[in-house]
Structure 1
């Protein structure tokens, strides 16, 4: 299963994260499939390539809780939710 999660980089006491798509079995700072964006918790700066993130989410990648919150702030989770609601056909009630 593919997960969207944070990969820690940076120095001690000065964390910096990359938002990556990775296999769930790989270590936190191990290899990743694709880089999606960056997150700097010190100043709250988030940079996400929305096209790549949307591609992974639409193919079934599961974001971690923190990444889900970051994607929600960027408006990506709402966009994905709205598209899924539109694509579902309504059930007909025939008797």
Structure 2
């Protein structure tokens, strides 16, 4: 089972909000997730809340961040 740190879409029409979650790599975007790491607003380009200790913990456990998640973490100085 390969774990990914990726974005799961929620919110309303024309104003998406993304949760940064840990999921099985074969799960669909809005599928079942293992853990919520934070929330991202792409319109404002900011993290609404993030748990950096959880992000580092999951990376140490072997979860791989997607390219989009990596860029969000770099902008927030988490990685």
When the two structures are superposed, what TM-score results if normalisation uses the length of structure 2?
Answer: 0.92
Partner of 1:52: 54
Structure of greater Rg: 1
**What is the SS of the residue equivalent to 1:3?**
strand
**Structure with more helix by fraction:** 1
2:74 is aligned to 72
Question: Residues of 2 paired with 1:39 and 1:63: CA distance?
Answer: 15
Q: Please give the alpha-carbon distance, in whole angstroms, between the structure 2 residues aligned to 1:23 and 1:17.
A: 17
Which ranges of 4 or more aligned residues in structure 1 deviate by more than 3 Å?
none
Larger proportion of strand: 2
Deviation at 1:45, TM superposition (A): 2.2
Q: What is the Cα deviation at residue 75 of structure 1?
A: 1.7
Q: TM-score, normalising length from structure 1?
A: 0.77
Q: What is the root-mean-square deviation of aligned Cα atoms in Å?
A: 0.9
Task: Flag structure 1 segments of 5+ consecutive residues without an equivalent.
Answer: 78-95
